[in-house]
């Protein structure tokens, strides 16, 4: 029986809803499981909301008799959902004792009807968890409040990242399952412009690079069908998540036969990509054994990357996958700019081979899971002068073989959600405008070095500085210490400290509430 009509539900921020949903799970499942429990339900709501929107559009345009015609959904890359797989059906039965079985059945039915989802959704997961019916119903109520209509963000990746950040200790932090913020993916896409050819991500996570790249192509009136997507992911749950994320958006991709380690089980050995976008795990230790991968063809012409850190292993994997005109944009921890020893030898060789085009330092606090500043590297296999037509626009590239562009964006960005920073559309337009002007003929008129922002360094300058790629070694900086307004600085610190203390009090109150609900009240 359908629920009686009620007042429209109050939508709350996604982060608030996710935190409340985690609260509903306390004591029922391990914290490390929270994201898996919530994500599949979130997927179910997301798929249902898309289905219902398409159903309404079909009804308005063609009439009621066509609303159950599957072809009217698949043509727009929308999953057709039988009634038992729809979110409305789940919510109508949320308080029934067999709701866990109904959720499992809904997910199984969707996967069976949609080959792109094969192996992506959990099998009999909710029945096996044995979550109390009342708790599961409360969880469904919280997820019901989430607005899935955010078309700008990789929203599934964002949900995943949220749980990784909030429950990092339970996860054993450092697994590299990071969601890359939309503004950074957009910046990379706007710089390398993946309009036509093969796009590859060797550590694709939840598929955020692919999602936002396709949005970039659409936004610039490109043709998505001209881009072929290849990816690989190490963690099985994240691999499934990626398949789920891409399938629901109608994005076709070759993710390999299985989840696998890119270094030891490369799923795309012979691939040559026109564009590579990546956010590899930062500073991976012991990524290979002492005697492993010594003769790997990906290191040909270079020293073997050390076992102590995978950063240069990722770089050389990317270099080996570039086509003759291939371009790559990827993120690394700042340490890779100046590491000594074997890393220095590899970095010198990369510079001498004219592969490094631009090094961009990004602001801090861009990520949910780390507050460090990181570097965007742009590699280009062909920095010679040439004329190219891209997406209907003719570009006249100049010879940049003996030059590297350095940029520092740490003074850019706008705050959001109090503690995070994002690069605005205007910020990105400024950065990409400078980069593209520097690349092309006539740059003497359109590009100039700007203190504290950008500098074009010659090979000789880089060699003179010992082949370091730290932008501050090249970009001119002004000493502002003597001009600091003490009062303004202290007021800023005062405000930040107040926010921290308020957050601490709330966290303490939440903890006391949890123990009280469990029957173990803590009296202070």
The string of DSSP codes covering 141-156 is: HHHHT------SS-HH
Spatial distance between the Cα atoms of 18 and 238, rounded to a whole number of angstroms? 19
Confidence of residue 5 (pLDDT cuts 50, 70, 90): very low
The string of DSSP codes covering 466-504 is: TT---GGGTS-----GGG--HHHHHHHHHHHHHHHHHHH
Residue in the block written with tokens 């950040």 = 165
Average pLDDT over residues 293-304: 96
Average pLDDT over residues 160-189: 63
Q: Which two tokens stand for residue 44?
A: 């179910």
| Cβ atoms of residues 408 and 475 within 8 Å | yes
378-398: pLDDT as tens digits: 999 999 999 998 878 899 999
Q: Which two tokens stand for residue 438?
A: 């520097």
Contacts of 14 (CB under 8 A, 6+ apart): 146, 147, 150, 155, 158, 159, 162
Residues 435, 438, 442, 444, Cα dihedral to 10°? 130
Spatial distance between the Cα atoms of 506 and 518, rounded to a whole number of angstroms? 19
| Cβ atoms of residues 151 and 182 within 8 Å | no
Residue of 300, 442, 468, 440 whose CA lies nearest to 383:
440
As a whole number of Å, the end-to-end CA separation of the chain is 48
Confidence of residue 481 (pLDDT cuts 50, 70, 90): low
Whole-number pLDDT of residue 226:
87
Spatial distance between the Cα atoms of 419 and 368, rounded to a whole number of angstroms? 9
Per-residue H/E/C for 111-129: HHHCHHHCCCCCCCHHHHH
Spatial distance between the Cα atoms of 241 and 207, rounded to a whole number of angstroms? 8
Whole-number pLDDT of residue 175:
38
User: Does 315 or 46 have the greater pLDDT score?
Assistant: 315
Helix 14-25 vs helix 133-144: angle between axes, to the nearest 10 degrees? Answer: 180
Q: Which two tokens stand for residue 329?
A: 């944009």
Spatial distance between the Cα atoms of 453 and 451, rounded to a whole number of angstroms? 5
Spatial distance between the Cα atoms of 327 and 355, rounded to a whole number of angstroms? 9
Residue in the block written with tokens 């590009």 = 447
Cα dihedral sign, 159-161-164-165: negative
H-assigned helices in 145-268: 155-166, 168-171, 182-192, 208-219, 236-247
Count of Cβ atoms closer than 10 Å to residue 439 Cβ: 21
Please tell me the least confidently modeled range out of 95-104, 142-151, 156-165, 486-495: 156-165
Whole-number pLDDT of residue 172:
37
Whole-number pLDDT of residue 174:
41
Please tell me the least confidently modeled range out of 38-42, 366-370, 466-470, 507-511: 366-370
Q: Determine the longest span between alpha carbons in the chain, in angstroms.
A: 77
50-90: pLDDT as tens digits: 899 999 999 999 988 899 998 898 888 888 999 999 999 99
Top mean pLDDT of 104-118, 346-360, 361-375 is at 346-360
The pLDDT of residue 105 is above 50: yes
User: How many Cα atoms are found within 13 Å in the side-chain-facing hemisphere of 119?
Assistant: 12
Q: Which two tokens stand for residue 275?
A: 């564009």
The pLDDT of residue 177 is above 90: no
Contacts of 340 (CB under 8 A, 6+ apart): none
């Amino acid at each position: 029986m359908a629920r009686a009509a009620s007042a429209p539900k109050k939508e709350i921020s996604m982060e608030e809803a996710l935190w409340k949903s985690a609260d509903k799970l306390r004591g029922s499942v391990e914290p490390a499981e929270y994201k898996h429990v919530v994500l599949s339900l979130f997927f179910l709501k997301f798929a249902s909301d898309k289905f219902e929107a398409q159903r309404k559009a079909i009804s308005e345009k063609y009439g009621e008799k066509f609303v159950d015609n599957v072809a009217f959904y698949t043509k727009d890359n929308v999953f057709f959902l039988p009634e038992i797989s729809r979110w409305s059906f789940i919510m109508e039965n949320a308080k029934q004792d067999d709701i866990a079985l109904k959720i499992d059945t809904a997910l199984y039915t969707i996967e069976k009807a949609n080959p792109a989802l094969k192996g992506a959704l959990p099998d009999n997961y909710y029945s096996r968890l044995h979550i109390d019916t009342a708790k599961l119903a409360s969880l469904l109520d919280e997820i019901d409040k989430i607005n899935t209509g955010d078309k700008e963000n990789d929203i599934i990746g964002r949900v995943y990242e949220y749980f990784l950040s909030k429950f990092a200790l339970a996860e054993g932090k450092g697994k590299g399952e990071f969601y890359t913020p939309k503004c950074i993916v957009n910046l990379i896409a706007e710089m390398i412009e993946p309009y036509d050819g093969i796009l590859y991500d060797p550590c694709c996570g939840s598929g955020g690079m692919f999602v936002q790249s396709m949005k970039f192509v659409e936004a610039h009136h490109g043709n998505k069908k001209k881009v072929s997507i290849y990816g690989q992911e190490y963690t099985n749950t994240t691999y499934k998540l990626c398949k789920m994320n891409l399938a629901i958006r109608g994005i076709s991709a070759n993710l390999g036969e299985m989840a696998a380690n890119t270094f030891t089980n490369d799923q795309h050995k012979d691939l040559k990509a026109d564009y590579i976008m990546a956010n590899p795990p930062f500073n991976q230790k012991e990524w290979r054994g002492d005697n492993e991968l010594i003769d790997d063809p990906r290191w040909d012409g270079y020293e073997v990357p050390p076992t102590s850190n995978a950063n240069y292993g990722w770089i050389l994997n990317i270099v080996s996958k570039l086509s003759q005109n291939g371009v790559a944009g990827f993120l690394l921890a700042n340490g890779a700019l100046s590491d000594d020893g074997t890393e220095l030898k590899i970095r010198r060789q990369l510079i001498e081979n004219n592969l490094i085009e631009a090094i961009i330092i990004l602001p801090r606090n861009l990520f949910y899971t780390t507050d460090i500043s990181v570097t965007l590297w742009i590699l280009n296999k062909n920095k010679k002068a040439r004329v190219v037509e891209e997406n209907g626009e003719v570009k006249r590239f100049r010879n940049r073989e003996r030059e590297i562009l350095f940029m520092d964006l740490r003074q850019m960005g706008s705050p959001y959600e109090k503690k995070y920073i994002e690069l605005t559309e205007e910020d990105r337009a400024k950065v990409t405008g400078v980069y593209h002007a520097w690349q092309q003929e006539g740059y003497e008129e359109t590009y100039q070095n700007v203190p504290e922002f950008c500098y074009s360094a010659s090979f000789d300058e880089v060699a003179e500085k010992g082949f370091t790629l730290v932008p501050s070694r090249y970009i001119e900086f002004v000493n502002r210490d003597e001009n600091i307004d003490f009062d303004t600085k202290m007021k800023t610190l005062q405000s930040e400290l107040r926010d921290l203390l308020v957050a601490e009090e709330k966290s303490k109150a939440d903890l006391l509430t949890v123990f009280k609900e469990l029957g173990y009240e803590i009296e202070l």
